Amino acid sequence: MTRRVVAQGTFDIVHPGHVHYLSEAAGLGEELHVIVARRDNVTHKTGPVLDGRQRRDVVDALEAVTEAHLGHPEDIFVPIERIDPDVIVLGHDQHHDADAVRNALGSRNIDCEVTRASAREPDYGDELLSTGRIVDRILAERGADAGPAAGAGGAASEPDTR
C-alpha cells in the first residue's frame, strides 16, 4: 500500500524554507500531495500576490512533490478527503494547531496522523526563509516604486480558479 503524505500552504514566493518543509514531508511516504491554498482561504495573513494556478504549478515542479492541488474554494478539507492521506505534515511555523486539525479530521472520519515539520536554520547569515522577509527585503532594497515591475499586472484582479 502506498503511503500518502499531504502538506499544504500558500507558497506565494517559494523559498528554501518551503523546499525543506516539502522534502521533509516527502520523506514520510511514497507520495507527497501538496494543497496550495486559494487566495480567499488565506485569512491569517495578507493574501498571495500570485494566482493560485501559478503557485500550484511552481510547487508541482519541485522534485519532492508527486502532485500539487489547488485547494477547494469553500472547504479546505475536501482535497484531503479526496487524497485520503496517511499523514498530514504542517509547516513548522504554520498557524494551524495540530490538535484542532486532528479534531476536525476526526469529525469527518478522516483517519490520519498529523505531525509538524522541523524548522530549517539559515545556511548563511542573511538567507531569507520567509515570504514576508523576502518581500520586506525587496521593498527595502528597491523601494515600492522602483523598476518596471512596480504595479505591473498583479494577480489581485485575476480569478483564482482551476
Task: Confirm whether residue 17 is marked as ligand binding.
Answer: yes
111 annotated to bind ligand:
no
* Residue 160 CA from chain centroid, whole number: 15
- Establish whether 122 is an annotated binding residue: no
Instruction: Judge whether 93 is annotated as a binding position.
Output: yes
> Is 72 labeled as ligand-binding?
no
Which residue is it, cell 502506498? 2
- Check whether 132 is labelled as a binding-site residue: no
40 known member of a binding site: no
Can you list the alpha helix ranges (DSSP code H) found in 7-151? 16-26, 52-60, 78-83, 98-107, 131-142
Specify burial of residue 147 (Cβ count, 10 A radius: 0-12, 13-18, 19+).
exposed
Q: Which residues are annotated binding-site positions for ATP?
A: 10-11, 15-18, 93
Q: Which residues are annotated binding-site positions?
A: 10-11, 15-18, 93
